[in-house]
Amino acid sequence: MSKFINQPIELKYVGDFPLSFSFGQNFIIQYIVKHWREAGQWWLGESELFIYEVSTNLCHCELHFLPNKNTWILYRFTD
C-alpha cells in the first residue's frame, strides 16, 4: 500500500551517496532502484525535478529533489 507524504526531509550522505533520512523513524537507504528527471512546466516557472525510487531498511520510498531550493522531499512510501 502506497502512502502519500510530500514532506521535506534531510538526507545524510556518505560521499555522494545518500545514506539515510529520518521521518519518525530512521530510514537507511540500501540502494537506488531507479531515478529519472522531469522538466516541470517551465512555462509556469517550474524548475526540473529529480526523482529517486529507493529501497530502505523499512520500505520502498519515492524521494524528490528540488535543485532550485536544494530540498529533498519524501514524496511517498510503500509498505
Domains contained in the chain, number: 1
Whether the CB-CB separation of 61 and 77 falls below 8 Å is answered with yes
CA separation, residue 59 to residues 35, 64, 72 (Å)? 17, 16, 18
pLDDT the model gives residue 64: 96
pLDDT the model gives residue 41: 87
pLDDT the model gives residue 75: 97
pLDDT the model gives residue 35: 96
**pTM metric for this prediction:** 0.90
Averaged pLDDT in 10-residue chunks for the chain of 79 residues: 94 91 96 94 88 96 93 93
CA separation, residue 60 to residues 22, 53, 63, 65 (Å)? 14, 7, 10, 16
Query: Domain containing 33: what range?
Result: 2-78
Q: What residue has cell string 540500501?
A: 30
